[in-house]
Amino acid sequence: MSTPGLPKLWHILLLGGAACAAASALRLLAWYDGTRGRYGLLLLANLLRLGVVFFAFSLLLWSVGLHTRQRPAPLDRFNLLGVSLAVVLVLVCAGTPALWPAPLAVLAALLAVQSVRRRDLLAPGWRPVFLRAALALALFVLAWYQAAATTNSALCGLGERIEETAGSGRLREWARQEIDGTPRGQRKTLRWDEVPDDVFDMMGGLPGWPVVWVEHTDEPSVSLANGSGYGYGVRIYPPGEGEEKQGPGMPWRPGVFLYTVSK
């Protein structure tokens, strides 16, 4: 189906599919970095995902002709398109794929407002415009979802590394021992020679990391971090503790929570 002034459906499908594939590749790259206990590639994926989302956003505008048609006011254009783009970029940086209804609602509202205010957008007919907009919007949301999931994918990779090295069950037993050796109501940081070798390996073997601290409080736990400016964090509750708790970040196994740390 060819409509003057609008891209062909196969153009939208091809380019939107490319955006989704790129976002999926970034998610896979982040997962791979997590399986190494490293985070350099995760940072790269988080940066590149902004470009993928911008590309998918531009495709959405092109699908209804907003990229070429004359706008009545530059300031109005900035308010509608610029703010919408800023919102979806901020949402993807939040790293929560479950928020996908938010960008869907924002962009659906944008297209609806533009269609009402700009009747020239519907000049080719509402059916071809709606069909292209719906397809581009669906592909945008899929690409956005994949891009927002990079950090979660990296944490899943880290969780797999934990099971292949120390094991979550053994980590909880080790946490119990360290907590029992800490006076109640106190917190201490372990020396490197007090940290098992497999825990060092689990956290990527980075020089000078991880930092391990033990808290013997009302919620006893052992926490690890392999970076200060950015890195991974693991919080471990001993057996009998933490199963019903909501720890930081993503629950991996009962009593084991994974998250990212940053300043």
**Whats the size of the chain, residue-wise?**
263
Check whether residue 219 and residue 136 sit in a common domain.
Answer: no
Q: Please check whether residues 91 and 202 belong to one and the same domain.
A: no
Higher pLDDT, residue 234 or 240: 234
* Cis peptide leading into residue 239 (ω within 30°): no
Answer whether residue 191 is part of any domain: yes
Statement to judge: residues 148 and 172 lie in one domain: no
Evaluate whether residue 98 is within a structural domain. yes
* 86 lies in some domain: yes
Number of domains composing the chain:
2
Identify the H or E element spanning 60: helix 40-63
Between the CA of residue 146 and those of 27, 77, 101, what are the distances in Å? Answer: 7, 28, 14
Closest by alpha carbon to 234, among 207, 193, 202, 192? 202
Q: Are residues 147 and 70 in the same domain?
A: yes
Structural domain boundaries, residue 240: 165-262
Let me know: does 42 contact 33? Beta carbons within 8 Å: yes
Domain boundary among 102, 130, 154: 154
| pLDDT number for residue 82 | 87
> Is 228's pLDDT higher than 70?
yes
Global pTM?
0.89
Let me know whether 193 and 92 are in one domain: no
Quick one: pLDDT at residue 114? Answer: 75
Whether residues 144 and 175 share a domain: the answer is no
* pLDDT tens digits for range 113-136: 877 766 665 555 667 778 888 999
Domain membership of residue 160 (yes or no) is no
Give yes or no: residues 192 and 245 share one domain. Answer: yes
Could you give phi then psi for residue 171, rounded to 5 degrees? -60, -40
| Per-residue pLDDT band at 74 (split at 50, 70, 90) | very low
Domain boundary among 154, 184, 204: 154
pLDDT for res 105 = 96
- Give 69's pLDDT tier (boundaries 50, 70, 90): very low
Whether pLDDT at 68 is above 70 = no
pLDDT at 55: 97
In this structure, the answer to whether residues 102 and 14 fall within a common structural domain is: yes
Contact 166, 233 (CB under 8 A): no
Last residue of a domain, one of 126, 154, 182: 154
**Same structural domain for residues 94 and 216?**
no
Counting DSSP H helices and E strands in the chain, the numbers are 9, 6
For the ranges 18-27, 67-76, 77-86, 231-240, the lowest mean pLDDT is seen at 67-76
